[in-house]
Copies of this chain bind each other. A is one copy, B any other.
Amino acid sequence: MTELGPSSEALSDPEYRAAVVDLIGVLAYGELSAFERLAADAAMAPTVDDKAALAGMATAEYRHFCALRDRLVEFGVDPQDAMTPFRAAIDGFHAHTAPSDWLEGLVKAYVGDGIGTDFYREISAYVDPQTRDLVVAVCGDLGQSQFVVDRVRAAINADPRVGGRLALWGRRLVGEALSQAQRVAAERDALSTLLVGGVDRPGTDLAEIGRMLARLTENHARRMAALGLAA
């Protein structure tokens, strides 16, 4: 990934700083929500081992949340204030994509989180190195990929009709994620300027945004294929 972002000195610019606080705030609330959702999925697990695996993923999300919250505190920002603007969009996403069973929960953990972390990693190209390192660290794979792929493929092998249902579910997850992302972009000007640029900061152009969307779509299709699902 090319480094397009400003240097760390940019954090003294109030507009840029507000944008970074927004970015960390939305990520922090996203991680806290991911924790809750994975923990709820653990309750649907068919075996104690599966339960423990989901609980372990949830715990990793919580650690990411803590790293983001600590950064907000370093900035002298109340973490709750930084997260609250994003509560409606993220709660809305989860309310509209509540898994009805264990397999839907697994697909959501892999496909839904995958497109989210890809997006944040793309955004991280446009921020200062210190913020970028944090974003990249909390967007790393939690090791859940192979676990989810194994479980979902086994379920489709056992009953191929499951594949059709989960493919529809994957499309619904992406649609809902895009709709909530648009809501956030429309409401949070500061955050949007990370991509489009500010007074003294270069942004990106429409062609690069198009390429970014193409990369996100390709990665999504790759993940669906790994699960044995039509994107």
Contact = CB atoms under 8 A, between A and B. Distances in A.
Contacts of A55: 32, 35-36, 62, 65
A228 B162 CA distance: 52
Q: Which of A36, A40, A48, A59 has the most CB of B within 10 A?
A: A48
Contacts of A32: 48, 51-52, 55
Contacts of A69: 52
Give 6 closest A-B pairs by Cβ, nearest first. Answer: A39-B39, A48-B80, A59-B62, A59-B59, A48-B83, A49-B80
Interface of A: 29, 32, 35-36, 39-40, 42-43, 47-49, 51-52, 55-56, 58-59, 62-63, 65-66, 69, 79-80, 83-84, 87
A43 B38 CA distance: 12
A182 to B, nearest CB: 23
A32 B39 CA distance: 10
B36 A87 contact: no
A47 B79 CA distance: 11
A42 B36 contact: yes
Contacts of A51: 32, 36
B48 A43 contact: no
6 contacts: A32-B51, A35-B42, A36-B43, A49-B79, A52-B79, A55-B65
Contacts of A36: 39, 42-43, 51, 55
